[in-house]
Structures are given as C-alpha cells and as structure tokens.
Copies of this chain bind each other. A is one copy, B any other.
Amino acid sequence: MTALALAKEQGFECYTLSFNYGQRHDAELIAAEKLSQQVGAIEHKVINIDLRAIGGSALTDSNIDVPEEHHEGIPVTYVPARNTVFLSIALGWAEVLSAHSIYIGVNAVDYSGYPDCRPEFITAFEQLANVATKAGVEGQKLTIQSPLMKMSKADIIQQGMRLGVDYSQTISCYQADSAGQACGKCDSCHFRREGFKQAGISDPTRYQ
C-alpha cells in the first residue's frame, strides 16, 4: 500500500496485482482490493497460483507453524521463489499493458532474512525482465521499482502517513483472522509494531 501510494505520487497510472497463492488467510487480498479502489487504481487483478502444491514454508504448508519468536537466518516463513513468481506474473501483465515500471513493496533493512527482498534480487530480476520480454527485445526498458527497499519500517510508515495511507486497513500479519485482525505475535507484526513505535505514531493496527 505504501509502495502504491509512492507510485501514485510519482504520477503513474497504477494497475494493482494480488496473489491468492495459498497463504494462511485472505484478509490481505480483501484489503488490497479495497485499498486499490480507494486510491484510484485503474484495475485490480487477483491471480490464483497454488504454491501449496510446492509447500516448503510456514505460509504455504499447514504442518509448519508460524514462529512467534524471531530467529537468525532465513525464516521458515520464507516461501521458496515467491517474489520471483510474483514478479514474473507482474511482468506478463506489464507486457500486455505496455507498462514499463513494476512496483514491489519489498524491504531489506529491518528484516533481511528473505533472499528475494534484497537489492541484488531486484537488480537481477530487472536484467532478466529486459531479455525475457518482447518489450525488452524491442528496446523499451523495463524497470523494477522497490521504493521501500532501503527504508526502515519507521520511514515507511512516515512516508505512508504523509500520503494518507490508512494503516488501520492494511494487513502485514502472516496469520490475520477473517476480520483482518492481526495476531500481534508473528515476526511481521513485531516489525510493524516496532516501526510505529520508532516513528512516534500511535499504532492503528487492529489486533485480535
């Protein structure tokens, strides 16, 4: 949502994309559709892609619990190649739309355990995008924009507040309930809550 608000501020006409990939809840899908409409995205799509058929993550395999304490290294909530799959599908849609910029809200600073949330991943995907596609072959440069990459969670929240993002409606939690309420215990909740604290902003997140 913050990445979308930043893209809108840059003057882009925005098309938004969510993935129903077998995550633990659909609250984030409902929120993404509603918020996309609110900010005036031209079209919002939800793509179904069953990453549970592959598994290998606490988010896509019900037999692996979402941890409630932070551990060093790559966490079990890492979904193998997830952001690569997401960006690939976004790349396909970008080609159909003749769009030349793809925004993704990945962030490397507070939470650097995910290989596919790092600057070198985005750079490598951008290089791929420019040889993988008709647009690339025909010389139209595609760029992958990750404006949150080097911000702290506090910076992200401050940027979002400046742009009018309603954080009572956004979902970060790995295991939100059907009403969109956060667990308050997972890593994602932890880093989000710390972000509000450091930004000196009262946390509007709806907790269970």
Contacts and interface: CB of A to CB of B under 8 A. Distances in A.
Interface of A: 45, 47-51, 53-56, 74, 78-85, 87-89, 91-93, 95-96, 115-116, 118, 120-121, 124-125, 127-129, 131-134, 136-137
Contacts of A115: 131-134, 136-137
Given A45-B53, A50-B47, A81-B95, A124 B131 contact: yes
Copies in the complex: 2
Contacts of A133: 80-81, 115-116
Main SS at interface, chain A: helix
Contact of A127 (B48, B91, B127, B132): B127
12 contacts: A49-B49, A49-B89, A54-B89, A55-B96, A56-B95, A56-B96, A81-B133, A83-B132, A115-B132, A118-B131, A121-B128, A124-B127
Nearest to A46: B53
B54 A92 contact: yes
Given A124-B127, A131-B121, A85 B80 contact: no
B74 A137 contact: yes
A5 to B, nearest CB: 25
Nearest to A120: B131
A96 B54 contact: yes
B53 A50 contact: no
A100 to B, nearest CB: 14
Given A45-B53, A96-B55, A132-B124, A84 B80 contact: no
Contacts of A50: 47-48
A163 to B, nearest CB: 29
Contacts of A120: 131
Which among A88, A120, A129 has the highest number of chain B CB atoms within 10 Å?
A88
